[in-house]
Structure 1
Amino acid sequence: MFLIRSGAIERYEQLVSQLGHNPNELLARVGLTAAQIRQPNSYISYPRLADLLDLTAQRCGEPLFGLRLAAGQSMLALGEMALSSSQQATIESVVAYAQQHIGLHAYGVDVTQKINGEQLELQLSFNFSNESGLLQLMQLSAGQAFNILWQLVQGAGTSLKIHLLQAEPEGEYWQSERYAERLVFSSHFCGISFPASWLPRKPTPNEDLIREHFRERIHQLESLYPDNLEAQVRHVISNLLASGECDIERVAATLDLHPRVLQKKLQTRGVTFRELLQETRMEIAELNLRFGQQSITDLALNLGYADVSIFSRNFKRWTGLSPRQWQQQNRENGDS
């Protein structure tokens, strides 16, 4: 069972369209739909996503499509894991958190850290493969790992590197200012490296930075769902839940609204913040119980509950079943 959050390929439709191709056609070729990838916290088949990236790179004539997609994303393409990572005390804690909680984002990839001289290598390994050897998926994944560290370490310079197993493309190819002088082709691993001396450093993101990332996402949602405030609120909620501080004040601040203004706007649409919070928690809970590998305790914590018993009571009130009972009745294996 290899699954990944669809948020991993945020901006896919925009990039493919920019390159002159039809994203819906490419999605259909691998058995996916635009509706699936527009819900960032829904799970899709990991192998299908890998095949989609390879197909897209071939059709668009872009050998570095995976990297190009990652370059247009923020660290929050990794959802709850990235948000919670940014709140760790040190870069060492960020790495440990990513290793322990990669399952919040994807099932089928492992993160390993190794010291190589003065460098720390964060190596990504996958539990499946495809015809290309996951060429584009490795690009995307290494690029996303880079994005997190790049946004958490001030003055990273060129000491932060992206490592790819593949050889450097021949001839002229797309290059990103963000990744300039930071790409290592024909490496012995896929992932990133940086000075081990960074490990004791404190991550540097602040509330303004996180809000700016959310604003970028809101702009993307507005282009997909014009005038759909409910979708925007649910999106922000889904990314704040794991922080344990998902209240109307934080959500409103992310949307650059006063809490009372947000409340009134929702009321005119016949819905309340509490209802959207409950619906979002319910959707994430069911997805994780159906497909995920988290324990119920970890799931409760990542939904913002301080006590698993409160989550269990609420879930039973919503569904009539305890989380474990519901999981036993609805568990699915997904694609392998």
Structure 2
Amino acid sequence: MKPRVRNAALSSYVEVSQSLGIDPLSLMKHVGLDPVGLAVQDRWISGVAVVQLLELSAAASHHEDFGLLLAERRRFSNLGRISLVIREEPDVRSVLELLIRHEYMYNEMLRSRLSEAHGLATLKLCLDLGEATAAGQAAELAVGAFHQVLRNFLGTRWQPVAVCFTHGAPADTRTHRRIFGPVVEFDREFNGIVFYASDLDAPNLMSDPLLRTYARQYFESIAISRDTTELDRVRELIEVLLPTGRCSIEQVAGSLGVDRRTVHRHLSASGETFSSLLNATRTQLAEQLVANPRRSLTEISRLLGFSASSAFSRWFSERFGCSPREWRLRRTRQQPFTEG
């Protein structure tokens, strides 16, 4: 399947588009992206569609700095769960190595590499789209986002030795020079950032050594394998889409950048259907959620994608042989019961 990125890649897209006088919703629909689902940061969407959207937005707004304007608004949280870990890493080197090693957790298109030579460190970034597509805006967004990460750790006055792009210079480079300084270069052989190798050993002043072990343990518990199967990808999307009330095979297919028949084919090869996987995922989540007395059954119903609590209760009774309230009571009393 085609590479995906998290919805967080388009964080602030609507705001930036509107500030430049273009209609973000119509442009998203044009490339097959769902504007309603944009608020779910952890939802995966087609990487190629995002790249196309950025190019269209830059053209429509007449702003060749569109990708950079998005990058400028980047925050740690846009990286997802990995952001909780990098905040506790001891130095910049550890931060970058973690982001590079686990880049597939937030962007399946990204291919990044860090090298050192002659006192300089070079962070090279490329986008593997699987097809020939103009991607200058996406490249600037990726480089700008990493630049923001480095400034967060090295200070707002930090400046790299060079910021490089493979594409030609835009007609107006003011935004590029405002963000990167006078060191931005175009028509280079790679996209990326060159800086002094000594910066890699700069300590992370935000880090709490007492929290570092806990952060690493947490990350190891949620880190996904680079060898994630198609079945795993569909299951992950179901978990993300259920609380939105829009969990359908069409939505899953759109997030994967394929049609519904392709999803059916992959699931069939694993002996599954979309309905069976949806029910299995719901069942697993229901056990976890209903067992937590701090969550109301109404809230759980919503998190599992039911439009009404009554529909959730009927489904639960069919799966477990009793109502969710009775199941919770039995669990609290630690009395065994038989699932239906």
Q: TM-score, normalised by structure 1?
A: 0.60
Task: Give the corresponding residue for 1:12.
Answer: 13
Task: Give the corresponding residue for 1:286.
Answer: 239
Task: Give the corresponding residue for 2:322.
Answer: none
1:194-244 per-residue CA deviation (whole Å, 9 max, x = no partner) reads 21112222123369xxxxxxxxxxxxxxxxxxxxxxxxxxxxxxxx99884
Task: Give the corresponding residue for 2:160.
Answer: 159
Report the residue type matching 2:5 in the other structure: I
Task: Give the corresponding residue for 1:22.
Answer: 23
Alignment of 1:297-312 (within 5 A): none
Task: Give the corresponding residue for 1:123.
Answer: 124
RMSD over equivalenced CA pairs, Å: 3.4
Q: Does 1:54 align with 2:24?
A: no
Q: Does 1:317 align with 2:284?
A: no
Larger CA Rg, structure 1 vs 2? 2
Structure 1 residues 22 and 142: CA distance shift in structure 2, 3 A: same
Alignment of 1:1-336 (within 5 A): 1=1, 2-128=3-129, 132-154=133-155, 156-159=157-160, 161-171=162-172, 174-175=175-176, 177-205=178-206, 244=218, 286-287=239-240, 317-318=287-288
- Tell me, which stretches of 5 or more residues in structure 2 are unaligned? 209-213, 220-234, 242-251, 257-282, 290-340
Once the 2 structures are TM-superposed, how far is the Cα of residue 111 of structure 1 from its aligned partner? 1.4
Kindly indicate whether the alpha-carbon contact (under 8 Å) linking 2:14 and 2:24 is maintained by their aligned counterparts in 1: yes
1:78-133 per-residue CA deviation (whole Å, 9 max, x = no partner) reads 22233322211121111210111112201122111122432211111222266553
- Tell me, which stretches of 5 or more residues in structure 1 are unaligned? 208-239, 246-281, 293-312, 320-336
Report the residue type matching 2:104 in the other structure: G
Rounded to whole Å, the distance in 2 between the matches of 1:140 and 1:117 is 28
Greater than 6 Å deviation, 4+ residue runs: 240-243, 282-285
Kindly indicate whether the alpha-carbon contact (under 8 Å) linking 1:110 and 1:126 is maintained by their aligned counterparts in 2: yes
Rounded to whole Å, the distance in 1 between the matches of 2:203 and 2:237 is 30
Rounded to whole Å, the distance in 2 between the matches of 1:187 and 1:96 is 24
Aligned length: 231
Once the 2 structures are TM-superposed, how far is the Cα of residue 286 of structure 1 from its aligned partner? 3.1
Once the 2 structures are TM-superposed, how far is the Cα of residue 71 of structure 1 from its aligned partner? 1.1
Once the 2 structures are TM-superposed, how far is the Cα of residue 170 of structure 1 from its aligned partner? 2.4
Report the residue type matching 1:117 in the other structure: H
